[in-house]
Amino acid sequence: MRADQVIIEPVLSEKTNLAREGETKKYSFKVRMDSNKYQIMAAVKELFGVEVAACNVMIVKGKPKYSRGKGGSILGNTGNWKKAVVTLAKGDTIQAIEGV
């Protein structure tokens, strides 16, 4: 699997912005469901040219969503997705995400 296929998009929220600003830089990414820690670490190293110290992976459960239509209200769920929190080596940053 290619590196650009493993990482789908960065997760940008208030909580992830605070994790990036600390002394240990932690970046969160939405990744493919069938990827593992080693593939994610290799993809971050290849795409951004940084040294990865650690990687934590979790599956985020989908949320319930309601849709209103002609037939009434319909209950459904968003899909589950996998999130990776990547800790970089001391002194490394990802410039592509820092400006956002």
Across all residues in the chain, what is the average pLDDT?
92
Beta strands in the chain (DSSP E): 7-10, 26-31, 52-60, 64-69, 72-77, 81-88
Measured over the CA atoms of residue 62, residue 65, residue 11 and residue 44, the dihedral's sign is positive
pLDDT band at 1 (very low <50, low <70, confident <90, very high): confident
Mapped onto helix, strand or coil, the DSSP state of residue 7 is: strand
Rounded distance between C-alpha atoms, residue 28 and residue 56, angstroms:
9
Over the stretch 14-62, which tens digit does the pLDDT of each residue have?
Answer: 999 999 988 889 999 999 999 999 999 999 999 999 999 999 999 999 9
CA–CA distance, 15 with 19 (Å, rounded to integer): 6
What's the confidence (pLDDT) of residue 100?
A: 66
Specify the pLDDT at position 57: 98
